[in-house]
Amino acid sequence: MTPEQLEEAQSLVVNGATYNEIAERMALSPDAVQSHLSADGFLRELRRWRNDEIFAMLQEGKTVREISVVVGLTLGGTRNITSKMRKYAKQK
């Protein structure tokens, strides 16, 4: 993947594209797309940003359902993340 393709893939992910959609557009496999995005640390930063957003919404009193709609995760995935955050906050 060229640096230009990587930048385009990052932009597409931020805008909600799936690995399958990006792979089809760039004539790569979805696994290759994920591998390239992961190798440069982009996915880690994206998760960190998402989790910061989730934490901020929890602090505002938003429900798990409201948070899941905003961050684009399933209700179960959001519930999993928020429960870990709450558990960690209690330990401190």
Q: What is the largest CA-CA distance in the chain?
A: 47
Q: What is the pLDDT of residue 92?
A: 61
Is the pTM above the cut of 0.85? no
At 4, list the tokens.
């230009």
The answer to whether the beta carbons of residues 85 and 54 sit under 8 Å apart is: yes
Per-position pLDDT tens, the chain of length 92: 888 989 999 999 888 888 999 999 999 999 999 999 999 899 899 889 888 999 899 889 999 999 999 888 899 989 999 888 888 777 66
At 81, list the tokens.
């993340």
Q: Is 63 left (phi over 0), alpha (psi -120 to 50) or beta?
A: beta
